[in-house]
Structure 1
Amino acid sequence: MSGKEKTKAKAEQVRGKAKEAAGRVVGNESLTAKGRAEQVKGDARQAKEKTKDMFKH
């Protein structure tokens, strides 16, 4: 996995977790949903990069 993309994926996952937690604390369903969506986006980016790495070898 390229270092840049891996970092981007992890950052999205972390931001998503933070947003989701903040949304739960303040009772904001919208923020919670946005956090979950950002985590999913990070997960998808990470999966894409892992798949690309598999075909490089």
Structure 2
Amino acid sequence: MIKLFFLLPILMSLIWWWYLDNRGYSLKEGLKGFIYIALFNSVIIGFFTLMIFVTSS
């Protein structure tokens, strides 16, 4: 399951790009959203990595 987590930021970025495109915004105007997506996914990946190390025997 964890091996598929790389799909989460890709999917979120595609949805954000689609939203920007439909509303008439440029990618430069939506850069802040992409940064938030990257930070959010970094926290998620960091949490699961920490949990793997904590629970490994």
TM-score interval, smaller chain: 0.5 to 0.7
TM-score normalised by L of structure 1? 0.58
Q: Which structure 1 segments of 5+ residues have no match?
A: none
2:33 maps to what in 1? 34
Sequence identity, in percent?
A: 2
| Paired residue total | 46
TM-score normalised by L of structure 2? 0.58
> Whose helix fraction is larger, Structure 1's or Structure 2's?
1
Runs of 4+ in 1 over 4 A off after TM superposition: none
Higher relative contact order (CA 8 A, sep 6+): 1
Structure of larger gyration radius: 2
